[in-house]
Amino acid sequence: MSGFPATALPPIGAAGGGLSGSYLNPGVASTNTAAGAAKTAPVLGAAAQLAQTAADAILYIAVGTAGTLTVAIGPTAGVANVIVNGLAAAIGDLYTIRLPAGWFVAVSTTTTAAWTATAITC
């Protein structure tokens, strides 16, 4: 393959290697050390906003019982943007969705008994 270096990349965490710095600017340390990020445990279900509406958030959905997953987001409770529609989800799967500040999210599953959701503001 032309254009690729002939040598292997250094291991992650090694000097000058891997993902130890900023992904877009290798060798540049990340400066995002804000302690102001908030963690919440939203309830899966009908369209709702997260408790923190002033900042974007990453929503993590962990599958504990196999089933199907549908996720829609939007700036109103109408959640017009379907992100995942009837996706077969296996035990152990983890889905991440970035939710813009103040937006609504609706999550429906066929089996929610062992599913968990965590939102972290960013």
Q: Virtual CA dihedral for 20, 22, 25, 31, nearest 10 degrees?
A: -130
Q: Where are the domains of the chain?
A: 1-33, 39-121
Query: How high is the pLDDT of residue 70?
Result: 92
Of the candidates 46, 102, 44, 43, the residue with the CA atom closest to the CA atom of residue 76: 102
23-81 confidence digits (pLDDT tens): 444 555 545 555 678 888 888 889 999 888 999 999 999 998 899 999 999 999 999 89
- pTM for the whole structure: 0.67
Name the CA radius of gyration of the chain, rounded. Answer: 18
